Amino acid sequence: MRRIPICLLLCLSGSHLLHAQMYDPFIKTSKPKSAALNTLLPPPPMMKVPEIPPTVVTAVMNNKAFINGAWYRVGDHVNNQEVAYIQNNFVGLKEGNRLNMISVSSTRHVLGIKDTP
């Protein structure tokens, strides 16, 4: 029974050797030493994405399609897309494994997109 108070006394007497300070939440923190830490940096420049004009199919006549102001046949290339087929109401444009079906109108109407093997 005498050993417990002796161990407790030794542990408490050795705590002054740690030189630990207690945190006081009511003491105001000091301001940063340099004013440069408070200045905000401007945001990094935005990366510019090249604008690709929308593909608009205006008319279809005699196995040719009027796309973006020019006539194209099957196998021609428009905006990095190959004209895969031409129907009366829509045109199929192939880009890699993707097939875009665009309707014939004054505005761009994408009927569907299909990944081909």
pTM for this structure? 0.50
pLDDT of residue 91: 92
Q: What is the pLDDT of residues 31-81, one digit of tens each?
A: 656 555 556 778 888 877 777 777 888 889 889 999 988 999 999 999 889
What percentage of residues in the chain have a pLDDT greater than 90? 20
- The answer to whether the Cα torsion of 95, 101, 104, 109 is positive or negative is negative
Q: Residue 56: name the closest of 14, 102, 10 by CA.
A: 102
User: Burial level of 47, CB count in 10 A (0-12/13-18/19+)?
Assistant: exposed
Domain map of the chain by residue range?
A: 57-115
